């Protein structure tokens, strides 16, 4: 298969049409790039909003993974971490030889290596991707590390589309190890802030705790970060917990007991479970995880815990 010389002339296939997938679709379509997408939720009630978004932005929806892959010059897998290998396997039967497959998922080096083997066996070109910070503020320009033997070639092709891609290594696993080890700190901090601040709120010592944190770390706005961490975990705790379970796997594969990563993963999953049953308000409503004051969400959490005991 010979790809068009310019990535602007490619058909980009998005596997996963969640927050990240929709942002990429919007930015690619704004440049006139042909975009197709597939998401498991398309056949559900939630899928109605995805269909409306696709119609608004001129994104073609495909019925399954293989059908999407068969129509794409460049496949981007942007799903939850636990689905990394399964999606690569589902796309494999449709992938065309020579097509690029960018694994955008926050998965462990081991999972990326498994996915790479599945894609490479088809003759397509697997490239490991590691998204190094939150996507929404940067959109398509989010810092992105690439890995694998085809990484440099893909980076050159997609930079004109706006991707801020840098090559980490020709070895699969280096980019994801960088991402996963960073996540132990970043998403671990999210979990710690929720646990610390909520407990402090219960005891009425939150102002003293915040003052002490500011004295120790004067460069951090703990009020602002507290609100942001609560919002992100409540809204995206499921995805974040899966990433942290992959971080725990990464630490475990290094021979270390993943105490911090595993605990953070469980805390994020717990918050996701509570959000799903409406503890923090109904999804899609103005009050859902939108407070500028983390205390509002902590109080909701504490009220739920009191009711359930």
Laid out side by side, the sheet with 164-169 consists of 60-61, 34-38, 11-15, 74-77, 100-103, 125-131, 143-147, 164-169
> Would you give the DSSP letter of residue 266?
H
Question: Contact, 113 vs 56, CB < 8 A?
Answer: no
Distances (CA, A) of 27 to 30, 156, 162: 5, 18, 9
Same domain, 27 and 58: yes
Residue among 210, 235, 241, 239 at smallest CA distance from 290 = 235
Where residue 111 sits, what CATH number does that domain have? 3.40.50.720
pLDDT for the residue numbered 266: 97
Same domain, 77 and 209: no
Among 140, 171, 202, which residue terminates a domain?
A: 171
Domain count for the chain: 2
Determine, yes or no, domain membership for 261.
yes
Among 171, 198, 228, which residue terminates a domain?
A: 171
Strands (E), 21-124: 34-38, 60-61, 74-77, 100-103
Crossing angle of helices 47-57/19-29, nearest 10°? 10
pLDDT for the residue numbered 212: 98
pLDDT for the residue numbered 46: 84
Residue among 91, 90, 104, 143 at smallest CA distance from 18 = 104
Among 171, 202, 230, which residue terminates a domain?
A: 171
Same domain, 189 and 42: no
pLDDT for the residue numbered 60: 97
Name the 3-class secondary structure at 79: coil
**Residue 200, class by beta-carbon neighbours within 10 Å (0-12 exposed, 13-18 middle, 19+ buried)?**
middle
Where residue 303 sits, what CATH number does that domain have? 1.10.1040.10
The CA distance from 88 to 100, in Å, is 12
Same domain, 238 and 131: no
Question: Contact, 176 vs 108, CB < 8 A?
Answer: yes
Determine, yes or no, domain membership for 223.
yes
**Residue 196, class by beta-carbon neighbours within 10 Å (0-12 exposed, 13-18 middle, 19+ buried)?**
middle
pLDDT for the residue numbered 187: 95
Same domain, 162 and 196: no
**Residue 282, class by beta-carbon neighbours within 10 Å (0-12 exposed, 13-18 middle, 19+ buried)?**
exposed
Same domain, 263 and 157: no
> Would you give the DSSP letter of residue 294?
H
Contacts 24+ apart (CB under 8 A), 253-257: 253/108, 253/109, 253/110
Same domain, 163 and 229: no
pLDDT for the residue numbered 282: 83
Same domain, 103 and 140: yes
Determine, yes or no, domain membership for 2.
no
Same domain, 148 and 189: no
Determine, yes or no, domain membership for 1.
no
pLDDT for the residue numbered 89: 98
Same domain, 214 and 256: yes
pLDDT for the residue numbered 148: 97
Same domain, 85 and 35: yes
pLDDT for the residue numbered 109: 97
Same domain, 160 and 190: no
Residue among 239, 237, 236, 257 at smallest CA distance from 248 = 257
Domain of residue 26: give its range. 7-171
- Dihedral sign for Cα 8, 51, 269, 298, please: positive
Q: What is the pLDDT along the chain (309 residues), one digit of tens a residue?
A: 689 989 999 999 999 999 999 999 999 999 999 999 999 999 888 899 999 999 999 999 999 999 999 999 999 999 999 999 999 999 999 999 999 999 999 999 999 999 999 999 999 999 999 999 999 999 999 999 999 999 999 999 999 999 999 999 999 999 999 999 999 999 999 999 999 999 999 999 999 999 999 999 999 999 999 999 999 999 999 999 999 999 999 999 999 999 999 999 999 999 999 999 999 988 777 777 778 899 999 999 999 999 988
């Amino acid at each position: 298969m010979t790809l068009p010389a310019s990535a602007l002339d490619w058909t980009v296939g998005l596997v996963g049409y969640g927050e990240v997938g929709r942002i990429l679709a919007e930015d690619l379509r704004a440049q006139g790039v042909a975009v197709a997408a597939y998401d498991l939720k398309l056949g559900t009630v939630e899928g109605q909003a995805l269909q409306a978004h696709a119609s608004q932005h001129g994104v073609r929806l495909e019925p399954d993974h293989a059908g999407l892959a068969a129509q794409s010059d460049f496949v981007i897998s942007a799903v939850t971490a636990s689905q990394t290998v399964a999606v690569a396997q589902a796309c494999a039967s449709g992938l065309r030889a020579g097509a690029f497959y960018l694994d955008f998922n926050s998965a462990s080096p081991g999972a990326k290596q498994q996915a790479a083997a599945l894609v490479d066996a088809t003759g397509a070109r697997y490239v490991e991707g590691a998204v190094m910070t939150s996507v929404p503020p940067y959109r398509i320009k989010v810092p992105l590390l690439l890995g694998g033997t085809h990484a440099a070639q893909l980076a050159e092709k997609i930079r004109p589309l706006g991707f801020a891609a840098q090559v980490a290594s020709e070895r699969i696993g280096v980019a994801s190890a960088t991402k996963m080890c960073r996540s132990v700190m970043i998403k671990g901090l999210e979990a710690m802030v929720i646990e610390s601040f909520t407990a402090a709120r219960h005891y009425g010592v939150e102002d003293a705790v915040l003052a002490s944190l500011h004295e120790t770390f004067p460069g951090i706005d703990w009020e602002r970060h507290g609100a942001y961490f609560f919002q992100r975990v409540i809204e995206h705790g499921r995805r974040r917990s899966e990433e942290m379970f992959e971080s725990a796997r990464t630490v475990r594969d290094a021979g270390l007991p993943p105490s911090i990563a595993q605990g953070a993963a469980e805390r994020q999953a717990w918050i996701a479970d509570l959000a799903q049953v409406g503890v923090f308000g109904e999804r899609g409503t103005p009050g859902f995880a939108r407070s500028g004051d983390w205390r509002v969400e902590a109080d909701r959490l504490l009220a739920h815990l009191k009711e359930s005991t």
